[in-house]
Amino acid sequence: MPEKKIRVLIAKPGLDGHDRGAKIIARALRDAGMEVIYTGLRQTPEMIASAAIQEDVDVIGLSILSGAHNTICPQLMNLLREKGMNDVTVLVGGIIPEADISALKKSGIAEIFLPGTSTQDIVNFIHKRVPSA
């Protein structure tokens, strides 16, 4: 039986349009053999949660640089819980002040990748966290 590919939703929530990071991650994960769906810009937490269900993803990667993470992340995590998506791994990449990291992790975010992270570190993290079946 062929190995099932890890499915990842890369999402860009909020009003910000700086998508360099989101696109690089989408491409790097695809090059690493994952199935990547990129939502495009300006996704609300509702749109992200329904896309995650519809696409049946293992991982959601959020790219946030605008400072809106403390609003967006808890909203998304609540929605995912309400919809019963408890086993999806949610990652955040972007500009996140150190002081906000522990609260975000408490809300259920699995890991936060700060500027300067190599794409290989993110690939490795996902492989460790989501064993492909």
Partner 1 sequence: MSNKPKGSTQTLTPVEPSVPHRKPSAKELAWEKNTLQPSLEKSPERDYDFTTTSGHPIRRLYSEADLAGWDPERDLGLPGGPPYTRGIHPTMYRTRLWTMRQFAGFGAAEDTNARFRYLLSQGQTGLSTAFDLPTLMGYDADHPLSEGEVGKCGVAISSLADMEVLFDKIPLSNVTTSMTINSPAAVIWAMYLAVAEKQGADWKKISGTLQNDILKEYIAQKEYIYPPGPSMRLVIDTFEFGVKNTPKFNPISISGYHIREAGSTAIQELAFTLRDGLEYVEWGMRRGLEVDEFVPQLSFFFNAHNDFFEEIAKYRAARRIWHKAMVERYKSKNPRSWALRFHTQTAGCSLTAQQPYNNVVRTAIQALAAVMGGTQSLHTNSLDEAWALPTEFAATIALRTQQIIAHETGVTNMVDPLGGSYFVETLTNEVEHGAWDYIEKIDAMGGMVAAIERGYPQREIAEASYRYQVAVDKKEKIIVGVNDFVSEEKPLEILQIDETVAHRQAERLRKLRADRSQAEVDRRLSALRHAAKGTENLMPFIFDAVKSYATLGEICDAMRDVFGTYEEVAIT
Question: Least distance from C-beta 57 to partner 1, angstroms?
Answer: 15
Question: Least distance from C-beta 10 to partner 1, angstroms?
Answer: 8
Asked if 25 and 63 count as a contact pair (C-beta separation under 8 A), the reply is: yes
8/80 with CB nearer partner 1: 8
CA distance 76 to 68: 12
Sheet holding 35-38, edge to edge: 35-38, 7-11, 59-64, 89-94, 111-113
42/84 with CB nearer partner 1: 42
Task: Please give the structure tokens belonging to residue 99.
Answer: 């002081």
Asked if 35 and 7 count as a contact pair (C-beta separation under 8 A), the reply is: yes
Question: Least distance from C-beta 89 to partner 1, angstroms?
Answer: 20
Question: Least distance from C-beta 54 to partner 1, angstroms?
Answer: 17
13/130 with CB nearer partner 1: 13
Mapped onto helix, strand or coil, the DSSP state of residue 51 is helix
10/80 with CB nearer partner 1: 10
Q: Which residues bind partner 1 (CB under 8 A)?
A: 10, 14-20, 22-24, 26-28, 30, 36, 38-42, 44, 66-68, 70-72, 95, 97-99, 114-116, 118-120
Asked if 77 and 108 count as a contact pair (C-beta separation under 8 A), the reply is: yes
